[in-house]
Amino acid sequence: MFTCLQINKDEKNGYQTTCVQLNEDTLTEGNVLVKVQYSTLNYKDALAITGKAPVIRSFPMIPGIDFSGVVEYSESDDFNVGDKVLLNGYGVGEKYKGGLSQKARVKSDWLIPLPEKFSPLQAMSLGTAGYTAMLSIIALEKNGVTPKSGKILVTGATGGVGSFAVKILSLMGYTVVASTGSAAQHNYLKALGASEIIDRAELSVPGKPLMKEQWAGAIDSVGSHTLANVCASVNYGGAVAACGLAQGMDFPASVAPFILRGVSLLGIDSVMRSKADRVEAWQKLADILPSAEMDSIVNIISLEESITAATKLLNGEITGRVVVDVNQ
């Protein structure tokens, strides 16, 4: 038996998330069984736990889109018992039983070895948020955006992806402008490495097809009017990595920035990325990010606490990363 979060939906009780004990027979089919040590609470996890969006594909479901832990049983030539591993995405926590659990059974192709530099806790301190931020930065780099190009804007800067984007870009020598709606978090963003902070209200309302050029590139986790205004404000030949939709899925923009300024809009998917891309992103995280840098933006909670924390996350009441110790 193992403990996990479980989401159910039925006519009698409606939508419910509870902490329960289950048997291994209830897990998803796969050739590797992992004893999970840590998972995380991401925006998508919060939507699933609260039922605020139709994230879950089938019920009952164990949420949690990523996890780290140790291989307990393996039928794969790629992994042995005792190997430290991590997983991000692949529909885990949505279609397949996820990481907010003490056990997870998955396909070996979904796992990557834990970088030697990171402990399982440190890996989940980064989690999908840090991994997505790194994928976004790599995309900007591959489109020619360098520290010498000019300022880089990060929207949703106090969230998980935004926090890591600010920190990593700063460590790489970029000049970072952070956008936030919380005046109380300015010191937090400055400590991460932001050189300038702007109010998200400057970007979140309808704007013009083309606006003053301000940034060489941007990482946007907000979407909607914010993303449209970011694209309209990027320098000629710049690029925007779009990786989130906190404001909305719509994109009320024009083609003007793309055909008149040569701006590139780069879609960042973290769920189905190739294994090679995943290994590249995690290795670059290990190369760039000092382990101690993670401590300042991480809150560790229990499985039970993650149910109430999900609502707080959606309400913008949590700053930085939430790591779930599934064995608490």
Residue 181 sits in a domain of what CATH number? 3.40.50.720
- pTM of the entire structure? 0.90
The mean-pLDDT minimum among 95-109, 126-140, 257-271, 312-326 falls in: 312-326
β-strand 66-74 against 103-106: which pairing, if any? unpaired
Rounded CA gap, 99 and 32, in Å?
Answer: 14
CB 69 within 8 A of CB 85: yes
Kindly state the greatest CA–CA separation across the chain: 60
Residues 48 and 97 in one domain: yes
- CATH number of domain containing 312: 3.90.180.10
Q: Residue 247: pLDDT above 70?
A: yes
172 lies in a domain? yes
Domain that holds residue 307: 2-114+296-325
Paired tokens of 138: 């790599």
Q: Is the pLDDT of residue 294 over 70?
A: no
Q: What is the pLDDT of residue 291?
A: 67
- Strand-pair partners of 180: 199
Q: What is the mean pLDDT of the chain?
A: 94
**Encoding tokens for residue 254?**
């024009």
Domain count, the chain: 2
Residue 211 amino acid letter: M
The arithmetic mean of pLDDT across residues 38-47, rounded, is: 93
- Confirm if 255 and 277 have CB atoms less than 8 A apart: no
pLDDT of residue 296: 60
What's the mean pLDDT in 127-131? 91
Of 267, 288, 309, the residue that ends a domain is: 267
298 pLDDT exceeds 80? no
pLDDT at 295 over 90: no
Task: Indicate whether 91 and 136 sit together in one domain.
Answer: no
- Assess whether pLDDT exceeds 80 at residue 319: no
Mean pLDDT, range 261-273, rounded to an integer: 96
Both 169 and 221 in one domain: the answer is yes
pLDDT of residue 292: 64
d(CA 302, CA 38): 10
Q: Within this chain, do residues 109 and 178 fall inside the same structural domain, yes or no?
A: no
In the predicted model, is pLDDT for residue 229 greater than 80?
Answer: yes
Which tokens is 150 given?
A: 């000019």
Flag whether 281 is in a domain. Answer: no
In a domain, 88, yes or no: yes
